[in-house]
Chain A
Amino acid sequence: MDYKAALKEINEKMNLEFSILHLSEDEVYLLASPDDFKNICLALHKLLHAPVASFFAQDARKEKGAFKIYCSFMSAKYKKWFFVVTEIPQDNPKFDSLAKEIYSASLFEREIKEMFGIEPIGNPDLRRLRLHDEIWPNDVYPLRKDFKVPELNNVSGVYCFNKVEGEGIFEIPVGPVHAGIIGPGHFRFSSVGEPIINLEIRLGFTHRGIEKFFEGKNAGDALRICECVSGDASFAHSLSYAMAIEKISGIKVLDDTRLMRAVFLELERMYNHINDIGGMAVDVGFSFPAAFASIVKENILQLNEKITGSRYLRNINCIGGITMAWDKDKTQILRDSLKKIYKDFDEIKKILLSSVSFMDRADGTGILKKKTAEDMGITGLAGRASGIAVDLRKDFPGIYGEVNFNLIKQATGDCLGRLFMRISEFEDSIKLIRQFLDKLETHRSDAPPHKSTGLTVEDRRVRDPLISGIRPQAAAQSNSDIKEGFALGYVESWRGPVLYWVKLDKAGAIERCKIVDASFLNWQGLSFCVLGDIIPDFPLCNKSFDLSYSGNDL
C-alpha cells in the first residue's frame, strides 16, 4: 500500500476531510479544518507509528487572518515527512491539544503557547520553557509578527516546580551555574536517601531568541547564524538549513559536494563521540582514558582545521555547495590521520571495556525502556540505544545509500548501551569516511571525464559556479537562485535529527524558521532515566546523553 492509499483510507473509513496542500519529493502537506486537525494527527500517528517530529505555528495573520499550525510525522516506510496543517482564526487562538494522546506533542504545544499565545486546550502543563516567568511578562509572544520588546522592569512571576512531598523527601536544587565548564540549566532532584524519585529539569537559560532572529534575514546570510545555534553540531545545523533552502529553490547539489558534506558530518560525529566517551570516563573518575580521549578529540579538531580551516567546521557550507575544493592532498591527510586516530581509539576502547569497575558503573545505570522512549519521542543516538531503529542516514539515505552502511542499535537503553552506540558509531564513521573518500577520488579534477556527459570535473566547475569557491554572501547576493516557498531540511547529527523548517518570502528573506534539535525531546529522556538511580550516577547519565543546552534553548 503506498501512502496515497493509506491517506485515502483515513479519508474514507474515518470520515476525515483534508486536502493535499503541497507535495514535494519527500514532504506531504495535508490541510485540515481545525475540527479535524486533531483526529487526522491521531490517525497519522497510528498509521506511521511515529512520534511527533516537529510541531509549530506560523503567524499568517497578514495574509490569511489566521495562525497556521503544522504537526509533522516522519515515515521511514513511505520515505516521507507528513505535515498536518490547519488555520486557526486570530480572534480565537485555540486548538485541541494532542498531548494526552501523543505525549511527544506536549513540549511542542507548550512552545506554541509560549511563543504565539495559541492555546492547546486540554494540555495539563502550560508552563513556559524558555521565557522565564521571573523575567518576561505573561502575555508577550515573541514569534508573533507584531511583537515588540516589552518593558521588563516590573515582572514578578514565579515558576512552579513539580513538588514531591512526604516524609523524608528532600530537594536538591542544582544550577543554573554548574561546577564544570558547561552550559547552564537548573536541575531539581527530589530524593529519599540516595535514590532519585523525581528530577525536574528547567532549561531556557541560554535562550537568545534565535527563531525570531532569523526572521527577515537574507537566506544566505542566515547560514552563519545556524552554525551558532549549537556549536558542537555547527556543521549538522548549517547543512540541515542549507538543505531546506536548496529544496525550496530547486538547487541541485552535485555529487562531490554531497560527498564532502557527508565527510564533514562524520568528522563532527567522531569528535563529539570521542568527547563523550572520555566524558563518561571522567564522570566515574577514570582519568587515564579520559585524558587519552581528549587527545584524540584534539587531534580530530586539528584535522578539521587542517582540511577546512575551521576546528568546528564553520564557514564551509554555503547554499548549493561547499566553499572549498577537494584535492588529493586532503584525501591523503585524512586517510593517514584516520589510521592513527583509529589506533588510539582502539586502545581507549580496550582500556574502558576491560575495566571491571567502569563497566559496573555503566551497566544497568540510567535505563530508558523502549516503550518510554517511543512515547517521549526520543530520537537519534539515545533512541537507538533504547532499541528504536530510526536513523535518517538509513531512512532518507541520499549519499549514504551509495555506500555500505548499517544501522546500529542496542536494546538495553542504559548508559552502557549508549556508550556502545558511541563506540560503534565512531568506528562506523571511520569506515564511512573511507568509502566517501574512495568515491571522491573518482570526482577529482584529474579524474577521467564523466562517462555519459564527457565533462571533466573542471568543466563542470566552470559551468556550475556553485560547485566550489563561492562564499555564502556572494551566493546570496545573486539572489536570483533563491525562490519563495517552504521546505524541511533534515540531517542526522551526532545527537540525532536536526530539523529546519524554513519559509522564505518573495525577496528571499526568511519568514519563519523552526529549528528542532534532537536535544529538545531527549532532555525528557534524561530526566526519566535517572529515576531510581542514585544521585552520584546522574553525571554519568547526563554525559551518556550529552544534550545541548543551546540547541534546546534556541
Chain B
Amino acid sequence: MRIIKNRIRKGVVTKSIDMGFLANAEIETMGVELKKIIHERFSRSFHIREVDTGSCGACESEIIATTNPIYDIQRFGINFVASPRHADCLLVTGPVSKNMAVALKKTYEAMPEPKFVITLGNCAYDGGIFKDAYYTESGVASILPVTFHIPGCPPKPIDIIKAILTFLKKG
C-alpha cells in the first residue's frame, strides 16, 4: 500500500529530481539519440558485461549509478548482463592486477563475436595512479584489444552515458 502511495506521490522520478543540479534535458536528448542508434545497430539492445580487474570500487559505483532511476540507462537500451556469453561489449575497470589477467582473458574469450572492449577510468587506461606498481599490468590494452576509453577517476555517470553515445555515434 505504502509503495503504491509513494509511486503516485513521486511520479516518474527520472523527470523530477528536485535535488539534482544536472541538466535533465541533456540526459533526455542524449537518450533519444542513443536509443535510436542502439535500435538501428544492435537491434534494440546493447549488452555490456563489466569486469573489475583491481579497481578501487569507485568506478563500479559510478557504473551502478548509471542504472539508478535518475539516469536509468536501461531505458535507452543499454543493459548490464551477468554472463559474458550474452554480451556485445566488455567494460573493464582497474589497472589489471596480475591475479586478474587470466580471468580477464577468459571472460573475453567467452564472449560471442562480434565483440569489443571499452575501458573505464584512468586505472584501466595505463594503470592510472597505480602505474608502475609491482603487481599491476600497464592497463587493459596490454592484454586485450581496446576500442574505446572513458576517462575519469572515476567518470561521473552522466559522462559515462555521454561517452557511450559519442562512441556509438562514431561508428
Decide: A177 near B103, CB < 8 A? Known: A209-B135, A232-B57, A549-B57. yes
Residues A135 and B98 in contact, CB atoms below 8 Å apart: yes
Residues B56 and A184 in contact, CB atoms below 8 Å apart: no
Q: Which residues of B contact A548 (CB under 8 A)?
A: 57
Give chain A nearest CB distance to B96 CB in angstroms.
9
Give chain A nearest CB distance to B14 CB in angstroms.
10
> In chain B, residues 1-32, which have Cβ atoms closer than 8 Å to a Cβ of chain A?
2-3, 6-7, 13, 17-22
Instruction: State the CA gap A177–B21 with chains docked (Å).
Output: 35
Choose among A183, A208, A303, A351 the residue that contacts B133 (Cβ–Cβ < 8 A).
Answer: A208
Residues A179 and B83 in contact, CB atoms below 8 Å apart: yes
Residues B3 and A230 in contact, CB atoms below 8 Å apart: no
Q: Which residues of B contact A229 (CB under 8 A)?
A: 56
Tell whether A142 is near chain B: CB-to-CB under 8 Å: yes
Residues A232 and B61 in contact, CB atoms below 8 Å apart: yes
Tell whether A411 is near chain B: CB-to-CB under 8 Å: no
Decide: A234 near B58, CB < 8 A? Known: A206-B97, A288-B3. yes
Instruction: State the CA gap A307–B58 with chains docked (Å).
Output: 19
Instruction: State the CA gap A209–B128 with chains docked (Å).
Output: 14
Q: Select the stretch in A290-298, A359-367, A376-384, A414-422 that faces chain B.
A: A290-298
Give chain A nearest CB distance to B99 CB in angstroms.
5
Q: Which residues of A contact B123 (CB under 8 A)?
A: 228
Residues A231 and B55 in contact, CB atoms below 8 Å apart: yes
Interface string of A127-152 (1 = CB under 8 A from B): 00011101110000010000101001
Q: Select the stretch in B64-72, B138-146, B161-169 that faces chain A.
A: B64-72
Q: Which residues of A contact B134 (CB under 8 A)?
A: 142, 147, 149, 209, 212-213
Count chain A CB atoms within 10 A of each CB in B7, B62, B69, B99 and give the residue with the most: B99
Decide: A206 near B55, CB < 8 A? Known: A177-B103, A181-B60, A184-B103. yes
Residue of B nearest to A548 (CB): B57
Q: Which residues of A contact B69 (CB under 8 A)?
A: 291, 294-295
Decide: A550 near B56, CB < 8 A? Known: A208-B133, A209-B136. yes
Decide: A208 near B95, CB < 8 A? Known: A294-B68, A350-B2. yes
Tell whether B156 is near chain A: CB-to-CB under 8 Å: yes
Tell whether B118 is near chain A: CB-to-CB under 8 Å: no
Instruction: State the CA gap A234–B62 with chains docked (Å).
Output: 14
Instruction: State the CA gap A255–B18 with chains docked (Å).
Output: 33
Tell whether A100 is near chain B: CB-to-CB under 8 Å: no
Decide: A212 near B52, CB < 8 A? Known: A206-B94, A347-B6. no
> In chain A, residues 207-251, which have Cβ atoms closer than 8 Å to a Cβ of chain B?
207-210, 212-213, 224-225, 228-232, 234
Chain A's interface size range is: 35 or more
Decide: A354 near B2, CB < 8 A? Known: A204-B99, A206-B97. yes
Tell whether B150 is near chain A: CB-to-CB under 8 Å: no
Instruction: State the CA gap A180–B49 with chains docked (Å).
Output: 9
Residues B54 and A207 in contact, CB atoms below 8 Å apart: yes
Tell whether B88 is near chain A: CB-to-CB under 8 Å: no
Give chain A nearest CB distance to B95 CB in angstroms.
6
Give chain B nearest CB distance to A175 CB in angstroms.
9
Interface string of A277-300 (1 = CB under 8 A from B): 000000000001001101101110
Q: Which residues of A contact B126 (CB under 8 A)?
A: none
Instruction: State the CA gap A262–B132 with chains docked (Å).
Output: 34
Choose among B13, B95, B103 the residue that contacts A205 (Cβ–Cβ < 8 A).
Answer: B103
Q: Which residues of A contact B94 (CB under 8 A)?
A: 206
Choose among A136, A183, A297 the residue that contacts B57 (Cβ–Cβ < 8 A).
Answer: A183
Choose among B18, B70, B107, B133 the residue that contacts A340 (Cβ–Cβ < 8 A).
Answer: B18
Q: Which residues of A contact B82 (CB under 8 A)?
A: 179-180
Tell whether B111 is near chain A: CB-to-CB under 8 Å: no
Residue of B nearest to A142 (CB): B134
Residue of B nearest to A299 (CB): B19
> In chain A, residues 354-395, which have Cβ atoms closer than 8 Å to a Cβ of chain B?
354
Choose among A205, A232, A303 the residue that contacts B54 (Cβ–Cβ < 8 A).
Answer: A205
Tell whether A94 is near chain B: CB-to-CB under 8 Å: no
Decide: A183 near B60, CB < 8 A? Known: A177-B51, A205-B54. yes
Tell whether A65 is near chain B: CB-to-CB under 8 Å: no
Residues B58 and A231 in contact, CB atoms below 8 Å apart: yes
Residues A302 and B19 in contact, CB atoms below 8 Å apart: yes
Instruction: State the CA gap A208–B129 with chains docked (Å).
Output: 11
Tell whether B80 is near chain A: CB-to-CB under 8 Å: yes
Count chain A CB atoms within 10 A of each CB in B57, B58, B59, B129 and give the residue with the most: B57
Tell whether A306 is near chain B: CB-to-CB under 8 Å: yes
Instruction: State the CA gap A275–B153 with chains docked (Å).
Output: 20
Q: Which residues of A contact B2 (CB under 8 A)?
A: 347, 350-351, 354
Instruction: State the CA gap A301–B71 with chains docked (Å).
Output: 14
Q: Which residues of A contact B3 (CB under 8 A)?
A: 288, 351
Residue of A nearest to B4 (CB): A288
Tell whether A122 is near chain B: CB-to-CB under 8 Å: no
Tell whether A332 is near chain B: CB-to-CB under 8 Å: no
Residues of A within 8 A of B (CB): 130-132, 134-136, 142, 147, 149, 152, 176-177, 179-184, 204-210, 212-213, 224-225, 228-232, 234, 275, 288, 291-292, 294-295, 297-299, 301-303, 306, 311-312, 314, 337, 340, 347, 350-351, 354, 548-550, 553
Q: Across chains A and B, which 7 residue pairs bring their CB atoms closest together, nearest first?
A: A231-B58, A231-B56, A179-B82, A209-B135, A294-B68, A231-B57, A206-B54
Residues of B within 8 A of A (CB): 2-3, 6-7, 13, 17-22, 50-65, 68-70, 80, 82-83, 94-95, 97-100, 102-103, 107, 123, 128-130, 133-136, 153-154, 156
A-B contact pairs, 12 of them (CB 8 A): A176-B103, A180-B82, A181-B63, A205-B99, A207-B135, A213-B134, A234-B56, A234-B58, A288-B3, A302-B22, A306-B21, A347-B6
